[in-house]
Amino acid sequence: MKLQLKLALYNTLTKAAIITLMGILILVSINRISVNHMHQRLIQKKNKLVTHLSGAAINDLLTQQKTFTDYNLLKEEYIILKEVKNNHQEKLKQHFSQETREIEGNQEEYQILTAEFEYQGKRYLLELGETMSTVGQLEHTISVFTFVILLAAVVLTLVTDLAFSKFLLAPFYQIIDQKLNKVNDPISFNYEPVKTTTEDFRILDQSISTLMNKITDLFLSEKEFIANVSHELLTPISILNTRLENLLNDEKLSIEGENKIFACLKTLNRLKSIINSLLLISKVENNQYKKPDTIVLKEMIHEVYEELEHRLEMMNLSFTINLTESYVFKGNRSLFHTLLMNIVNNAIKYNIPSGSVQIYDTIINDSYAVVIADTGQGMEINQVSHAFQRFEKFQSEKEDSYGLGLSIVKSIAAFHQIDLDIDSGIGKGTRVTIIFPKKIIQPIQSS
């Protein structure tokens, strides 16, 4: 999950939790506030009623039945007035209660004020009740309103946090994109600082630039070293090779001397081949090659077949090419030719007499792939995992193997953003799969 989304989710969840807590506190408090407000209203009504009472009014209310009851049309309020025994020693009582009362067959929950008062030497009991349904309606309204506010706040917070975090982290992603992901060559690194007001991002940008500056110096030093090695090692080898060949022209040279010189020439050629291979790997890994060529894979495979046809005939190997698609990509033609030559050459070298080499294409995870399969002796599982390491030799009986062929293949494949996979088993042959980047695949036209 990206840092931007994590920050937005954290802020949203935090604010949602705070709003939810405040909403719960409001719902808890609203009941108490409403009840207190109702108590004050009932007291005001009681005081107003008692103030405006007169003897005639009380008599009319009681109508000689010692009690009076009244309620409004919606049964939200009611009044009960009745005369009680007057005991001058007792204090006048007043208290609130919440009870269920039945009026005309309807039961309602009421907040009730029960109060005693004296008028003209008589004591009366006044009961004022107000239904609790209004409080419930108020709590429901506030609950709905709180939920809507919470939902709107969460959505608004998520949107605003995403927008703000995107704006805030824009320099960070710019640093990642321009100074890490798009850097293939340290020499072409862009040292221009990324515009930002965040000190942390400035430090990150400066640290990456400092690191890349050191890597560039090392890279240039390695390039210089490779050039020096190429000159200092290959030149003496060429001189020795020429001198030994001149010695072979000496008529006085014995057969034993010729054999020794041939052995020396063979060793020099082996050393020259190893140095050239190591130099090739180093140059490829240091991106000292360009990719200016348009490579038609099918044509190049046929070229490799024509160059190795004599070796196939020597071992009586059958060679089949079955490509159903025409894959074209940009790359370095000579390097990719070397890749194919090394793989096919191994398929021939380690094959069995009268065996076969097959090249066919397939689709792997929506990517175009070419498989080069042979019927050779194969490798063990632990050997397959080390197949691309330098100087790894699994078939020691092959004297012309230096253990660098697959290392060169791996370097060239990485240079072209190509994936490689090896499937092999003792006595089952080897299958090398070349998986290309997703490109436009053109169907093969019949000639």
pLDDT band at 383 (very low <50, low <70, confident <90, very high): confident
Q: What is the pLDDT of residue 396?
A: 43
How far apart, in whole angstroms, are the C-alpha atoms of residue 329 and residue 342? 20
Q: What is the pLDDT of residue 177?
A: 80
Q: What is the pLDDT of residue 447?
A: 40
Task: Among 104-118, 215-229, 354-368, 406-420, name the one with the lowest average pLDDT.
Answer: 215-229
Identify which has the larger pLDDT, 418 or 384.
418
Identify any residues that bridge with 112 across adjacent strands, giving them in sequence order: 97, 129
Highest mean pLDDT among 14-18, 177-181, 241-245: 241-245
154-161 average pLDDT score: 80
How far apart, in whole angstroms, are the C-alpha atoms of residue 47 and residue 429? 107
Q: What is the pLDDT of residue 357?
A: 93
How far apart, in whole angstroms, are the C-alpha atoms of residue 25 and residue 12? 20
pLDDT band at 432 (very low <50, low <70, confident <90, very high): very high
How far apart, in whole angstroms, are the C-alpha atoms of residue 237 and residue 271? 8
Q: What is the pLDDT of residue 446?
A: 45
Q: To which H or E segment does residue 283 belong?
A: helix 255-285
Bridge-based pairing of strands 325-331 and 318-322 is: unpaired
Identify which has the larger pLDDT, 441 or 344.
344
pLDDT in tens, 315-324: 899 999 999 8
How far apart, in whole angstroms, are the C-alpha atoms of residue 87 and residue 410? 111
Q: Decide which of 3.30.499.10, 3.40.50.2000, 3.40.50.1820, 3.30.565.10 is the CATH code for 293-443.
A: 3.30.565.10
329-337 average pLDDT score: 90
Does 122 score more than 90 pLDDT?
Answer: no
Identify which has the larger pLDDT, 444 or 195.
195
- Classify residue 85 by its DSSP letter: -
How far apart, in whole angstroms, are the C-alpha atoms of residue 38 and residue 130? 8
- CA distances in angstroms from 258 to 57, 60, 161, 249, 255, listed in the order given: 149, 150, 83, 10, 5
Q: Tokens standing for 320?
A: 């089949």
pLDDT band at 431 (very low <50, low <70, confident <90, very high): very high
Does 370 score more than 90 pLDDT?
Answer: yes
- CA distances in angstroms from 288 to 220, 276, 277, listed in the order given: 11, 15, 15
Does 35 score more than 70 pLDDT?
Answer: yes
Calculate the CA 166 to chain-centre distance. Answer: 16
3-state secondary structure of 321: strand
pLDDT band at 133 (very low <50, low <70, confident <90, very high): confident
Q: How many residues does the chain have?
A: 447
Contact 300, 320 (CB under 8 A): no
- Please choose, from the candidates 138, 71, 142, 145, the residue with its C-alpha nearest in 3D space to the C-alpha of residue 108: 71
Average pLDDT along the chain: 80
- Please choose, from the candidates 411, 412, 394, the residue with its C-alpha nearest in 3D space to the C-alpha of residue 403: 394
Does 433 score more than 90 pLDDT?
Answer: yes
Q: What percent of the chain has pLDDT over 90?
A: 12
- 152: Cβ contacts below 8 Å, ≥ 6 apart: none
Largest Cα span, the chain = 162
Does 47 score more than 80 pLDDT?
Answer: yes
Task: Among 181-185, 281-285, 368-372, name the one with the lowest average pLDDT.
Answer: 181-185
Does 369 score more than 90 pLDDT?
Answer: yes
Does 105 score more than 50 pLDDT?
Answer: yes
Does 219 score more than 70 pLDDT?
Answer: yes
Identify which has the larger pLDDT, 311 or 28.
311
Q: What is the pLDDT of residue 4?
A: 67
45-54 average pLDDT score: 78
Does 75 score more than 90 pLDDT?
Answer: no
pLDDT band at 379 (very low <50, low <70, confident <90, very high): confident
243-252 average pLDDT score: 81
Q: What percent of the chain has pLDDT over 70?
A: 85
Written as one string, the DSSP assignment of 335-364 is HHHHHHHHHHHHHHHTSPTT-EEEEEEEEE
Identify which has the larger pLDDT, 24 or 72.
24
Identify which has the larger pLDDT, 280 or 64.
280
Does 300 score more than 50 pLDDT?
Answer: yes
Identify which has the larger pLDDT, 11 or 444.
11
